[in-house]
Structure 1
């Protein structure tokens, strides 16, 4: 296994993460089936690359990703999983796989209450064959449910005991850290006003293309020693493919204004002989509150490609040119700054 430096998730948790983590949605047969042998080989490739942090969720393949990790993952790897979705066995016509294929016949029941959190945690422990170190509240944001339903779930979390369950698990030492895994920084900022969290997994909302979270949320995390894990560093693909026909942004075809902005960013990257995807990966890791980034992989070759991107050297002049052209915010930390992670 390659040796990779680790960073602290937060002082209180005492957890150390590899800055390059491993996102496991593809292990749940995201969009396409993955054989058991291919899934195992992909996990082994991540371990061999020195990755010591893995993120998963019951939702990924309706338990399939957790089951697959449980068959191969060693105990010395830090694992985060999620609560909020309970999985119930059902007939095939009742199943709710959404974007996952060839998965168990199960349906998702959203439950952010005390009982829901505890049941979700126990089920994940059973599938993983171990206790995860980090528990994240999954997709409680209005973008997933709509404002009214999201508010009801927040009430269940905060008044119905879901947050109390997380605190009890952390206080007892069953887990080491609690947070949320969502697609919107605003709900994380609200949660920080309601409870004591160690970290947030923020998908797609702090990237080379988007930095609105820097206005208030990320400085608040810095002040409170709250670690950020970045999911979706490529905004669903466009920062990996560039502004090509059919490029996707937030899981939808990219609109013209996004295509144009990405084209400008890519132009600056090419001037410095850096690929867009490498710049996207290194940019997010520069922020001092970002502790890890978790690009997914569905094959050993994709793990190796992520490791090569992580090892890529990016000249500081690239970031300063992007800033000079107004393509990134003036107040975001840049790679190479003294405070970079």
Structure 2
């Protein structure tokens, strides 16, 4: 069945409130997903009524974009985001032990947030996708977490100058419908709002059932600017879906205790914790879409099942009364 859609910022671009992330298609899970299963999952998402899909050159060094493009090409009516800031070059150095991708394409990344780099990245993505357009273009990981303090100090001014000019030109020309930034840190998004007019930010993991700091920091600036949020990582990399991982590592005890306390309230209302996690974030009108990254079609079916699970209003008031969610959090209807 079709999902509700919401606008990306003040643009006419409509995103289904439940979308599909594609880092898993790039090979960040073990055991890895076969290309055939990855394509089947994207096709299944479209069959289920999902119309917003997100990808990036970084995911499997081009692998996720190729799979996404192959899967979407037979269909119409979808909205797609991909990212700029990394160019892919033929690999000449061995992959390091920290490389997260299983069986990626034989490329390595070069950070380039310049005007020319963004334009090249956009054209390269269209080639890898085999599609004639990208709807939402996101500047990827121009953050301290990814680049380090020195790297962020070097790349951020370039990104906010030449990189932004390139993205704004692509938007003005109609080559893309909307532009934004995709990161795991809300701070860089708040800073970027001082440099340009952004339509939508992809924020991973920082506004969830477990943490709501952006309510008081980023979101007021976004509302003033007319910028909406695509919410990645709604399960905080697993802890809100029954696993013990948070921020891509084993969760510390304090985080485990808080997640367990939320789960107990959910259990008392007969609601599964992941269902509450999904519905909580979309209850905020600033959120245009939520994009979990399932590993299989079966996991996608499970996510849709959680999405459609009835949730009594008393669950949210109990979570608020017990101090487990911010008292200023918008509550789902």
Q: TM-score range by the shorter chain?
A: over 0.9
The answer as to 2:59 corresponding to 1:71 is no
Map 1:179-198 → 2, pairs under 5 A: 179-198=180-199
**Structure 2 residue 281 is the aligned partner of structure 1 residue 284:** yes
* Partner residue, 2:17: 19
Equivalence for 1:138: 140
SS in 2 for 1:223: helix
Q: 1:264 to 1:96 in 2, by over 3 A?
A: closer
Q: CA separation in 2, counterparts of 1:75 and 1:62?
A: 26
What's the CA shift string for 1:52-107, capped at 9, x where partnerless? 00000000110001001111202421000001111101246258982111111211
Q: Unpaired runs of 5+ in structure 1? A: 337-341
- Superimposed CA distance per residue, residues 102-142 of structure 1 (whole angstroms, 9 cap, x where no aligned partner): 11121111110111101110100101122111110101111
Give the whole-Å Cα distance in 1 for the aligned partners of 2:125 and 2:47.
25
1:315 aligns with 2:317: no
Measured in 1, the distance between the counterparts of 2:142 and 2:219 equals 19
Match of 2:59? 60
CA RMSD of aligned residues (A): 1.4
Q: 2:156 aligns with which of 154, 157, 161?
A: 154
| TM-score normalised by the chain length of structure 2 | 0.96
Q: CA deviation at 1:316?
A: 0.6
Given the two structures, how large is their TM-score scaled by the length of structure 1?
Answer: 0.93
For 2:326 and 2:144, the matched residues in 1 are separated by 26
What is the aligned partner in structure 1 of residue 41 from structure 2?
A: 42
Separation in 2, partners of 1:67, 1:82: 14
C-alpha contact (below 8 Å) 1:287/1:333 kept by paired residues: yes
| Distance in 1, Cα, partners of 2:221 & 2:319 | 25
> Is the contact made by 2:87 and 2:112 (CA closer than 8 Å) also made in structure 1?
yes
Offset at 1:3?
2.2
- Contact (CA 8 Å) 2:197, 2:225: kept in 1 or not? no
Offset of residue 165 of structure 1:
0.3
CA distance in 1: counterparts of 2:218 and 2:276, whole angstroms: 23
Is contact 1:94-1:106 (8 Å) kept? no
User: Is contact 2:272–2:306 with CA below 8 Å preserved after alignment?
Assistant: no
Q: Is the 8 A contact 1:84 1:138 kept in 2?
A: yes
| Aligned residue in 2 for 1:339 | none
Matched, 1:272 2:269: yes
Report if the CA contact (8 A) 1:166-1:178 is conserved: yes
Q: Paired residue for 1:110? A: 111
User: Deviations along 1:181-208, whole A, 9 cap, x unmatched?
Assistant: 0001111010011110000000000000
Look up the match of 1:220. Answer: 221
